[in-house]
Structure 1
């Protein structure tokens, strides 16, 4: 069974290859040049553009990419699951549904499940790696789809950014929401609800917002694995990881946001993802 992932998952090319996944890259444009995420552009190029005052712009997975991959899978008579980047943050999910309908006209038995993850970054990536595990255990597509819906209810996204106005300019947050972080040294805490970015609090200084993230982790209970992501701020990521290790325990993995996600958050983002207690 084929498992499809896009840039919204922040899985690395190494992970994609290791787990035998099909990758649908989004595009990042800087000036008049467009690059396929991870394949033709890396994080450092995105950071350098931001530092120079040039805003990288992103595009959803193209219709041509979707059509080519879907047609190949359908032509081979294979099953597939595509757990797509949140439809509230990208048009990729809607495009995939449209292309599925077109390909099904040619291949009526085309068997692909396209699911709106309502998730982003490693919050999506963690779920995909769980889907891989279920596939490797020999579960059927229908059994995995049932597990996916349960999995989605257990995932938590928490993150803080240096500049909410940067998110607002990219259209991923309203201007009124961005006012939350406009005061000096006020650090916002955001989450993902129904696929959308939602501010949930503001704290004076990074230490306090990190303390709140740890408190939320304790309150929810959590699984054995916690993922922390950052955009050009490994020091901050390690500070949060040290705090979580002291106060909550668990296995902590640190990753860097991919080019697409970093283009929207800007530099200095620190994010944490985990499953609530009870998720297996």
Structure 2
């Protein structure tokens, strides 16, 4: 069983190559110049453009990319699972379903199962890595299917951004306009609901925000001893490290991993974003 992943997962090229994933990179457009995520543009370049008052735009994986990948899988007579970026944030899932039917016209035995994960960043990345672990443990397809459907319902995204205008201007923020504010040191807490980015509450200062995150996590899951937590950040390693230390002392999880938010997601969040991903009970 092979895995197909896309840029919405925030997996690095080294992780993708290490696990042998098929990769569908998105496009990032700055000043009318389109570049391929991770191959032709880095996270640092995206953040630099944003700091210079440029507004990167992103394009989903193209039909041509998908046709090439799906055809290669068919020709290799492989079975594959595609855990796709949330359909509420991108048209990638819908396009993949169309391309699958198109490729099946030439390759009727094409064996690809596509899932709308309703997830993003390392919420999706965590799910992908965990499913790959189950593949390595020789799970049957029926076991994998049940595992994926269960975890899609349980994956939790909590995050804060320095400036909500990037999410709002890109149309990625649901129910968000009334949430926008300019008060000094106000920190928003958001999550993902039915695949969309939704505000939860606002806090004055990082300490109150981090404690609210810990409280939410304790309500979601009483025992993190067997749980791996992922923290991603966009040019804010200091706050990510602070949050990690607080989680270690308060939750005692199995492991905590910190990584950078990738170029595509950073294009919509800007710098100063910190996000946390784990499974609810």
TM-score bracket, normalised by the shorter chain, equals: over 0.9
What 5-or-longer segments of structure 1 have no aligned partner?
none
1:272: which partner in 2? Answer: 276
Q: Which one of 245, 252, 271 corresponds to residue 248 of structure 2?
A: 245
Q: Judge conservation of contact 1:16–1:22 (CA < 8 Å) in 2.
A: yes
2:263: which partner in 1? Answer: 259
1:235: which partner in 2? Answer: 238
Normalising to structure 1: TM-score of the pair? 0.96
Give 4+ residue runs of structure 1 displaced > 2 Å after superposition: 140-143
2:167: which partner in 1? Answer: 167
Q: CA RMSD in A?
A: 1.2
Structure 1: how far apart are the matches of 2:230 and 2:124? Answer: 11
Residue-by-residue CA offset, 1:19-58 (whole Å, 9 max, x unaligned)? 1111110011111211111111101100110000001110
Shift of 1:183: 3.3
Shift of 1:149: 0.3
Normalising to structure 2: TM-score of the pair? 0.95
Residue-by-residue CA offset, 1:94-145 (whole Å, 9 max, x unaligned)? 1100000100111111111000000000010000011101111112223211
Shift of 1:276: 2.3
What 5-or-longer segments of structure 2 have no aligned partner?
none
1:150: which partner in 2? Answer: 150
Structure 2: how far apart are the matches of 1:194 and 1:140? Answer: 28
Q: Judge conservation of contact 1:79–1:141 (CA < 8 Å) in 2.
A: no
1:8-23 paired onto structure 2 within 5 Å:
8-23=8-23
DSSP-derived class of the 1:109 partner? coil
Shift of 1:187: 1.1
1:171-250 paired onto structure 2 within 5 Å:
171-174=171-174, 177-184=176-183, 185-221=185-221, 222=224, 223-250=226-253
DSSP-derived class of the 2:268 partner? helix
Structure 1: how far apart are the matches of 2:137 and 2:151? Answer: 16
Structure 2: how far apart are the matches of 1:183 and 1:209? Answer: 17
Pairs aligned (count): 276
Q: CA 1:178–1:208 in 2, change beyond 3 Å: closer, same or farther?
A: farther
Q: Judge conservation of contact 1:181–1:202 (CA < 8 Å) in 2.
A: no
Residue-by-residue CA offset, 1:38-86 (whole Å, 9 max, x unaligned)? 1111011001100000011100001100000101111222111000000
Structure 2: how far apart are the matches of 1:33 and 1:141? Answer: 41
DSSP-derived class of the 1:66 partner? helix
Structure 2: how far apart are the matches of 1:153 and 1:143? Answer: 16
Shift of 1:224: 2.2
Structure 2: how far apart are the matches of 1:183 and 1:52? Answer: 21
Which 10-residue stretch deviates more, 69-78 or 41-50? 69-78
